[in-house]
Amino acid sequence: MIPEVIIHNSVSLDGSLTGFEPDLELHYSIARDYRPDMHLIGSNTVRAGIAMFGGEVPPEGETDFQRPDRDQTLPAWVIMDTRGSLQGLLHHCRRFEYCRDVVVLVSEKTPAAYLEHLKERKYDYLVAGNDHADLRRALELLSDTFHAKRVLTDTGRILGNLLLGQGLVSEISLLVHPVVVGENGRYGMFENVEKDIHLELIRHEVLKDRFVRLAYKPAKG
């Protein structure tokens, strides 16, 4: 049994995920409306987000070795990091006030030193896959271990493509922004999906008189 998986992205009118300033308040208000138990995030997205919004990463403090005491209705952040590339950076995510805590997805080949690093700081981690993360197994573990019923990802192309290609997505949500970015954009949001996926429109609405919110689910059959 796997949880519902929602892909939620902000895009330009010409279908780019980059090259424009998204309305973060509106983007995250929609994400919150889904009431996800978990946010699924790739390690590349974490590094890019820190570079874009976080500036310098502060050094760890004593409290970073303890689980945060936060509202249990907040979603946890589930971060895929099978190579241990976020060692020394995870506390920056954990400090985010709207994150219940961080769970790390690793594999059987994740360096032992990284696993020890996680244990010392009381991060939960799940072993899903031999080398790279096995997404279906990861979702099964999130359901079995944390009783997750709904998982949302809004991290862009790579993870969304993998989830779609493996038939794991329950819904796609797009917040279309009133801007054309042209040559400054990056297109082919789902370009690495290898087969056609037919969809049914389940929701459409105009927000703030300028934005269009669309939601689709995979068509039956």
First-to-final CA distance of the chain: 20
Shared domain for 48 and 67, answered yes or no, is: yes
Shared domain for 94 and 189, answered yes or no, is: no
Per the structure, the count of domains in the chain is: 2
Residue 221 CB-density burial (10 A; 0-12 exposed, 13-18 middle, 19+ buried): exposed
Instruction: Give every CB contact of residue 78 below 8 A, 6+ residues apart in sequence.
Output: 38, 39, 40, 41, 102, 103, 104, 105, 138, 142, 151
Its sign, for the CA torsion 154, 157, 159, 161, is: positive
Mean pLDDT of 80-90: 94
pLDDT of residue 54: 59
Shared domain for 179 and 200, answered yes or no, is: yes
Q: Predicted confidence band at 53 (pLDDT cuts at 50, 70, 90)? A: low
Q: Does the pLDDT of residue 49 top 80, yes or no?
A: no
Beta strands across the sheet bearing 76-80: 124-127, 102-106, 76-80, 38-42, 150-153, 4-12, 171-177, 211-218, 199-207
Mean pLDDT of 118-132: 95
Distance CA 77, CA 102 (A): 5
Q: Does the pLDDT of residue 55 top 70, yes or no?
A: no
Q: Predicted confidence band at 135 (pLDDT cuts at 50, 70, 90)? A: very high
**Which has more pLDDT, 53 or 91?**
91
Shared domain for 140 and 76, answered yes or no, is: yes
Distance CA 30, CA 201 (A): 17
Shared domain for 63 and 92, answered yes or no, is: yes
Q: Does the pLDDT of residue 158 top 70, yes or no?
A: yes
Q: Does the pLDDT of residue 82 top 90, yes or no?
A: yes
Domain that holds residue 215: 1-37+149-221
Mean pLDDT of 37-42: 95
Shared domain for 64 and 81, answered yes or no, is: yes
Mean pLDDT of 106-131: 96
Domain end (from 95, 121, 147) = 147
Tokens of 127: 């072993």
* Mean of the per-residue pLDDT values of the chain: 92
Shared domain for 171 and 125, answered yes or no, is: no
Distance CA 95, CA 78 (A): 14
Q: Does the pLDDT of residue 115 top 80, yes or no?
A: yes
